[in-house]
Copies of this chain bind each other. A is one copy, B any other.
């Protein structure tokens, strides 16, 4: 029970229905991405449109608006009560910004767009997706217009994913990070190289699947409350308070795509599953923002999974499951290979250092697209050009460039920056957890990862969406958002690896 306040409880009741419908919509999406037969796309898009319309009707119901209004005069005391006010106002405002028919039409369009993107990427042919992407960008611009005036039209889109975020704040955060990373990359480029080609040794898919099971076990992700399926692009999806599913993909010649995909997505799932009992299955349950979400997924993926102690722990599994890949190499050699810094095309496979540059690339292009300074048809070339500028390399194939990510096909503009914000939040949390868990290295090395989950659950997961990202960060670390910890982390880790 969150509160005894009658208005609060009426709002929670109404939100429950929206939540039920939203989770049904998620099942439709999950099925479409993982399993749905190809010819079913038309009907699925009609189902999607229908449910979206119904969700929108529920979310804009006059009686809900009256309750949200009423709450303004209520005396609210607990953090939970105050957050019901904050979040219900926020969703009420957002839902009412959009005309009903627009919501339905957009949802139907996006459901079909996904299949078009899949085909375009498979065939490495941007022209298949081009006109669809044009329409999606128009929707995103329109979204921003509907959401009301702001300094930069991209601000409204950022705020959907990260409450309170603006272009001004992102620029202030990303510009120095970009400079620091470029500086570090330059230093690394002069250091002695080491071999990582053995990571492409072919490994049996069945053994990769076995590794998935072991990873999920050590991370304490229970199959009773989720599952792991295959999808072209890994993702996590919340189908209910006890049903948060992840996906991965298996490539014979790249076991690490699955390894780090699974750790990353399980990190999201654990956050989503970790809300306290009294708030789970309410609008206060689950992750507060995508930035905080990425702070969790990327925490596990990088700070835990790509650390030396983690590789030392996983070493016996790797040796058993992928004997040819490991060969006579020791854990340190594998650790270094897995942390090799090299400009590359695919974001989700990038090393920790250059990863941020991939985000900055997308952020710049999105901002220009939304403000209307560039056109969709020019994106493939602009992508190459930005990639050359930031990473020093340019993809020949569009599937290694503009077509690589699923986000735009789903209508998500303003989403990408949250990945880099996640690194930043995460590094601030990392400093804190290391203070609280001085046995950090040995805990990881011994495969006893529960204390880490317990800490994250206690500080972050359990409180769900009660606090804004900014407040949550303040509560956990006593700090405001700052890239210092992240930059310090990168320099320390990679100075050590590359003996800078």
In the bound assembly, the distance between CA atoms of A40 and B227 in angstroms comes to 11
* Closest-CB distance, A52 to chain B (whole angstroms): 12
For residue A35, CB closer than 8 A to chain B, the reply is yes
Q: How many copies does the complex hold?
A: 2
**A43 with B281, Cβ < 8 A, contacts A243-B36, A243-B37 known:** yes
Residues of B within 8 A of A224 (CB): 37-39
- In the complex, the answer to whether B20 meets A47 with C-beta atoms within 8 Å is yes
**A226 with B43, Cβ < 8 A, contacts A27-B27, A50-B20 known:** no
In the bound assembly, the distance between CA atoms of A17 and B54 in angstroms comes to 11
For residue A379, CB closer than 8 A to chain B, the reply is no
| Chain B binder among A125-133, A234-242, A328-336, A443-451 | A234-242
Closest to A31 in B: B27
* Closest-CB distance, A277 to chain B (whole angstroms): 13
* Closest-CB distance, A18 to chain B (whole angstroms): 11
For residue A492, CB closer than 8 A to chain B, the reply is no
Contact with B along A186-207 (1 / 0, CB 8 A): 0000000000000000000000
- In the complex, the answer to whether A28 meets B39 with C-beta atoms within 8 Å is no
For residue A63, CB closer than 8 A to chain B, the reply is no
Residues of B within 8 A of A241 (CB): 43
Closest to A35 in B: B227
In the bound assembly, the distance between CA atoms of A36 and B27 in angstroms comes to 11
Residues of B within 8 A of A242 (CB): 37, 39-40, 42-43
Residues on A facing B (Cβ under 8 Å): 17, 20-21, 23-24, 27-28, 31, 35-40, 42-44, 46-47, 50-51, 54, 222-227, 239-243, 245, 281
**20 extra interface residue pairs, beta carbon distance < 8 Å, beyond A40-B239, A47-B240:** A17-B50, A20-B50, A21-B50, A23-B43, A24-B24, A27-B31, A36-B243, A37-B225, A37-B245, A39-B224, A39-B225, A39-B242, A40-B225, A40-B240, A43-B239, A43-B240, A43-B241, A43-B243, A43-B281, A44-B243
| Those 4 A-B pairs whose CB atoms lie nearest each other, nearest first | A43-B240, A40-B243, A39-B242, A39-B224
